[in-house]
């Protein structure tokens, strides 16, 4: 069993799904996998966050948990825009792009998940892989935001690389979004 613990701690991921654990341990038998997970939760080597999602310890990054809830997904919208200094409002929620729209509260963290169409969600343009999670660059988060919220107010658009915006807007295949982008750019230039 010690080799299973070693494998568990060799992975850089802190948040692990049942599928992750099956791959890490090389366990194809569901019953044996469930027994192993139960044992490690009981002994405190794994912490159960919710059904099918575990952490190696309680000191995990909530962004990693946010993107483990649904696959594929990435951090975007207000979370990235706030961190980039484009909006100044504080939100208690982490904002995630995925297949579904819903709000989830887990282990003291609030997540707002917003649905994007598959063509956008599966396109890796402007998505950065970080320690255990994916996150949009500020230009991608900006486009995601104006795609879903046409008249969103931004406090500061100076951080944007407009060339990236005009290049990446094509992946949305949406003429209205191109018009919105032009309007934001024109209003920012004034």
The domain containing residue 26 runs over which residues?
2-55
Q: What pLDDT is stored for residue 1 in this prediction?
A: 64
- This prediction has a pTM of 0.92
Question: Would residue 61 count as lying in a domain?
Answer: no
Same domain, residue pair 113 and 163: yes
Using one digit for the tens of pLDDT, what is the confidence trace for 143-179?
999 999 999 999 999 999 999 999 999 999 999 999 9
Same domain, 36 and 11: yes
User: Residue 37 belongs to a domain with what CATH number?
Assistant: 1.10.10
Confidence category of residue 75, pLDDT binned at 50, 70, 90: very high
3-state secondary structure of 58: coil
Task: Quote the CA–CA distance of 11 and 157 in Å, as a whole number.
Answer: 38
Return the SS3 of 185. Answer: helix
**Per mean pLDDT, which range of 2-16, 17-31, 72-86 is the poorest?**
2-16
pLDDT at 31 over 90: yes
The answer to the question of residue 75 being in a domain is yes
The set of residues, in sequence order, having a beta carbon less than 8 Å from that of 123 and lying 6+ positions away, is: 171
Give phi and psi for 103, each to the nearest 5.
-110, 140
pLDDT at 111: 98
Query: How large is the C-alpha radius of gyration of the chain?
Result: 19
The alpha carbon of 145 is separated from its chain's Cα centroid by a whole number of angstroms, namely 14
Tell me the C-alpha distance between 158 and 28, whole Å: 51
Q: 40-60 burial, b if ≥16 CB within 10 A, otherwise e?
A: beeeebbbebeeebbbbeeeb
How many domains in the chain? Answer: 2
């Amino acid at each position: 069993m010690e080799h299973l613990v070693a494998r568990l701690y060799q992975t850089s991921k802190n948040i692990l799904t049942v599928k992750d654990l099956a791959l890490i341990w090389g366990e194809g038998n569901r019953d044996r996998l469930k027994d192993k997970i139960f044992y490690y939760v009981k002994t405190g080597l794994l912490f159960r966050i919710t059904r099918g999602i575990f952490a190696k310890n309680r000191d995990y990054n909530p962004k990693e948990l946010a993107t483990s809830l649904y696959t594929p997904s990435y951090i975007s919208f207000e979370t990235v825009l706030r961190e980039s200094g484009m909006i100044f409002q504080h939100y208690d929620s982490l904002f995630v792009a995925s297949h579904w729209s819903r709000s989830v509260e887990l282990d003291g963290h609030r997540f707002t998940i917003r649905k994007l169409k598959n063509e956008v969600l599966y396109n890796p343009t402007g998505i950065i892989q970080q320690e255990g999670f994916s996150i949009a660059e500020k230009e991608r988060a900006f486009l995601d935001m104006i795609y879903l919220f046409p008249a969103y107010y931004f406090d500061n658009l100076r951080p944007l690389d407009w060339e990236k915006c005009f290049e990446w807007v094509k992946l949305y295949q949406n003429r209205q979004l191109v018009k919105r982008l032009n309007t934001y750019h024109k209003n920012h230039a004034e």
